[in-house]
Amino acid sequence: MLYIGVDLGTSAVKLLLMDEKGEIKNIVSKEYELLFPHPGWSEQRPQDWVSAVKEGIKELVKDADKSQVAGIGAGGQMHGLVVLDKDDNVLRPAILWNDGRTQGETDYLNNEIGKDKLTEYTGNIAFAGFTAPKILWMKNNEPELFDKIAKIMLPKDYINYVLTGVHCTDYSDASGMLLLDVKNKKWSKEMLDICSIIEEQMPKLFESYEVVGTLKKDVADELGLSENVKVCAGAGDNAAAAIGTATVGAGACNISLGTSGTIFISSDKFSVDDGNSLHAFDHADGKFHLMGCMLSAASCNKWWMEEILKTEDFAGEQAPISDDKLGHNHVYYLPYLMGERAPHNDPYARSCFLGMTMDSSRADMTQAVLEGVAFGMRDSLEAAKAMGIKVEKSMICGGGAKSPLWRKIFANVMNIELTIPETEQGPGYGGAILAAVGCGEYASVDEAVKKLIKVTGSTKPEPELAALYEERYQTYRKLYPALKGLFTEMKG
């Protein structure tokens, strides 16, 4: 049988066709427009997603035996606000995860409702990217549209609605709305009241691997597929990507070194860290996970290379950074180009270099960028360690992980073994696996990933180098607290 995985990203949708053995048969990408109607705002038209997905699926399966397509599963950009009226028409462009307009609403939730209450209701505190602050922003700034809201959805859930006619979401994606009681897997009555909405406006909740429906006849006819094709609930992009890297079971870990950076730790039990540094979310395997998210990871290197050094020769710039230089760099870099989420939750944090001298070289600066991102990700690992969670090794994926040098730096900064998945197709691969489970190809997500996910190599820490990076990390972690006050002063 064949399964379609959908990765609904911020700049494009990436679709893949997978067989029951996990082999990728075809991949198609379709881009769509990102809208910036005001400084700091970020929006998209949901209809653009629908058009891209439909055209992409038709192209994806045009040379396949369409009768073998059994299921569809999506991983999608999280936190985005999609609002429908009573006739299921989209009321306004979707407000995306990286939209910055809701700082006032976020501060209201954290400071006036209170972080303790938010944690009690949802397991998390408010971040500007989350969905609940966006709803409050609509209430405060677009009251006429707010009053017309009949359904509140997330980006990939709108795609599932168009395919099946079912208003649905899954627990992993819903966890990032700040409207879900994550521990008890139900909508939080208290949070709905705070946002002046009711449960009838929320979609039905499903586990990620559960089937929400089958293709509507008109959609099936348009795509050239059977009406019997099952659509599973899918997952938020990070949870879906974690399925695609076998990050399932207590203590399993995945580090994603993409535009943003995440450390994703799966767990059998629900838990919250003391400082709310990590997101405490439901996982796509039916259990839980902790996640630390850096807003700028590989994008720091891209910025440094393309905007500052004016080069696209990333490997060439890394070539002078020989093994003997690792752990000895005197330059530090703070990776806060867009503010920071984990562990500081500070939209005013900014990037900077520290420690330069007259003999600081171009290579030293490049090395500092690579090390600074690794140190920033270690902050989230330390928050997990403080909860008693043991992480002995981790998968690593994303564009930045293709650099052997950066993998070596990460392995020694984290002081854990890093493994590389054979197939790295991100949320789309995880979505296809979830669809296979939903269609009964595998009895559980755990069984599926054990059979499908293979490792092709690993990078292990070196005791002496790890000790050098330990000393440097202890200096690094003092830098943000020392500069925080200045960042706040500079925000104007």
177 appears as a binding residue in the annotation: no
Query: What is the Cα–Cα distance from 203 to 165, expressed in whole angstroms?
Result: 12
For the record, the structure tokens of 332 come out as 């530090």
The two structure tokens encoding residue 350: 């900014």
Answer yes or no: is 289 a known binding residue.
no
What letter represents residue 20's amino acid? E
Catalytic residue among 237, 273, 282, 285: 237
Q: Nearest Cα to 135, choosing from 88, 112, 101, 182?
A: 101
Per-position b or e across 150-162, b if 16+ CB within 10 A of its CB: ebbbbbbbbbbbb
State residue 269 phi and psi, 5-degree precision. -125, 150
CA angle 75, 444, 209 (to 5 degrees): 30
Cα 409 from Cα 373, distance rounded (Å): 10
Report the Cα 201 to chain-centroid distance in Å: 25
* String of DSSP letters for 439-466: TTSSSSHHHHHHHH--EEEEE---HHHH
Do 453 and 428 form a contact (C-beta atoms < 8 A)?
no
The pair of structure tokens assigned to 162 is: 């168009």
Q: Is 43 helix (H, G, I), strand (E, B) or coil?
A: strand
The number of C-alpha atoms within 13 Å of 10 and in the hemisphere containing its C-beta is 15
48 is catalytic: no
Residues 421 and 246 sit within 8 Å (Cβ to Cβ): yes
C-alpha 266/C-alpha 443 separation (Å) is 20
**Binding site membership for substrate: which residues?**
78-79
Binding-site residue set? 78-79
Q: Which positions are catalytic?
A: 237
